[in-house]
Amino acid sequence: MPAKQFICPDETRIAIRECLNACPKKQRCMFLPTLRAVAASLDRGLKEPTVTELIAGTRETYLKKTVNYAVNPQDIVYALHGSAVHTINENHTQGNMLTEIRLNDNITSGKFDLYGEILDQDTGVLGDIKVTSSYKIMRALGRYKVDVPTGEVYKTGLKKGQEKYKKDWRDDGVRGILDWAIQLNCYRILLEQQGLAVNKMVIQALCRDNSLRIANERGINQAIYLIPVNRISDRWINRYVQYKAAALAQALENKTMPPICKAKERWNNRKCLDYCQVSDFCPYGCQLKSKMVKPLKGVS
C-alpha cells in the first residue's frame, strides 16, 4: 500500500486525505498544489512489482506494500524535481522519439524516459534522466583523487625537505552505477520484447547541487553529465528479476517479512538511518536507530 500519512514539521502525523482537505495548522507547510503533487507521486496504482521496486531491498518493498507508513513531504520534493525534468523533456519529443511509456511482461513493469533519436543519428538510443547528487555522479563517473608530486619540496616546517603533492582527479575508477545499469537493461529487454532495437543506453544525470562548493570538491563542475551504460546479459537480468519477484511474491503470500536487505541495498546502513521510509517498521532499522540515540549526561 502507498503511504497513508504525512509527517508534519512538528513531527505529528496526519492522514494525507485530511491534510489535503483542510490543514489543522494555522498555515500549511508548503503550497497545496505541491502537497497534492507529493501525494500523487506516492501511489501509481500498479499491482505488479515495478523494476525500481525489485531493485530495492525485498524487505523494504514488502513493508511499503503491507504497512501503513508515513512520509515527510519535505523528503519527497527532490523526487518531484525529477518528475518536472521528465515533463519538460516529454513536452519536447517531437520527431522519431518515444517517451514515458510503461511496458510490462509476466514478471514486472517499467516506464522508460526516452527512446529513439535522442542523442545522435541512432534511432535506437534508450535514455534515462536522473536528478541526483554530485556524490552519486562522482561515483557513477568512476572519479577519484590521487596524490601527484609537484616537483617541489617543503622549505620550512615539520615537512622540510619532503616532497610536495597536489590532488588530481582521475576518471578510470570503478563506476558505481550497478542499480542504474540493471534498471536500464530491464527497460532494454522490455523494449526488445516489443520488437524495438536498443543500440545504446545513456543516462543524463542532472546535478542538483551543481555550483555548490561540495560539488566542485568532488570534481563535478557541470550541470549535466552523460553516462553510458553497458549491456548486461539477458540471462543475468532475467534471473535477477525472477529471483527478486519470486522472493517478494512469497513474502506477500505468506505474510512473512523477508530477510534483511543486502548491505548494498541499504547503502551500508545509511539508507536505514536516514532515507528508508519504512525503517520504523523494520527490526533491523529500529535496532540501528536505537544505537544512534545517546543518553543525556546525568540522565540514567
Q: What distance in Å separates the CA atoms of residue 133 and residue 125, rounded to the nearest whole number?
A: 24
pLDDT at site 293: 60
pLDDT at site 94: 81
Q: What distance in Å separates the CA atoms of residue 4 and residue 14, rounded to the nearest whole number?
A: 9
Q: What distance in Å separates the CA atoms of residue 118 and residue 222, rounded to the nearest whole number?
A: 20
Based on the domain organization, do 106 and 181 belong to the same domain?
A: yes
pLDDT digits (tens, 9 = 90+) for 125-162: 999 999 999 999 999 999 988 999 999 999 999 989 89
pLDDT digits (tens, 9 = 90+) for 199-238: 999 999 999 998 899 999 898 999 999 999 999 999 999 9
Which residues of the chain register pLDDT less than 70? Answer: 1, 44-45, 293-300
In the chain, the number of structural domains is 2
pLDDT at site 96: 86
- DSSP 8-state code for residue 259: P
Based on the domain organization, do 293 and 161 belong to the same domain?
A: no
Q: What distance in Å separates the CA atoms of residue 60 and residue 270, rounded to the nearest whole number?
A: 14
Based on the domain organization, do 275 and 253 belong to the same domain?
A: no
pLDDT at site 297: 46
Based on the domain organization, do 211 and 287 belong to the same domain?
A: no
Domain carrying residue 119: 76-259
- Can you list the pairs that 281-284 forms with residues at least 24 positions away whose Cβ atoms lie under 8 Å? 281/63, 281/67, 281/69, 282/59, 282/60, 282/63, 282/257, 283/257, 284/260
What counts of helices (H) and strands (E) characterise the chain?
11, 10
Contacts of 139 (CB under 8 A, 6+ apart): 175, 176, 177
Mean pLDDT of the chain: 90
Q: Do the domain assignments include residue 235?
A: yes
End-to-end CA distance of the chain: 40
Based on the domain organization, do 191 and 288 belong to the same domain?
A: no
For residue 188, the domain's CATH number is 3.90.320
Number of Cα atoms under 13 Å in the Cβ half of residue 149: 5
Question: Angle 149-155-159 (CA atoms, 0-180°, nearest 5)?
Answer: 70
What's the grid cell of residue 114? 526516452
Q: Quick check: helix, strand or coil at residue 134? A: helix
Based on the domain organization, do 201 and 80 belong to the same domain?
A: yes
Q: What distance in Å separates the CA atoms of residue 40 and residue 34, rounded to the nearest whole number?
A: 10
Based on the domain organization, do 285 and 245 belong to the same domain?
A: no
Based on the domain organization, do 143 and 183 belong to the same domain?
A: yes
Q: Do the domain assignments include residue 5?
A: no
Q: Do the domain assignments include residue 7?
A: no
Q: Can you give the three-state secondary structure of 30-47, one letter per residue?
A: CCHHHHHHHHHHHCCCCC
Based on the domain organization, do 188 and 291 belong to the same domain?
A: no
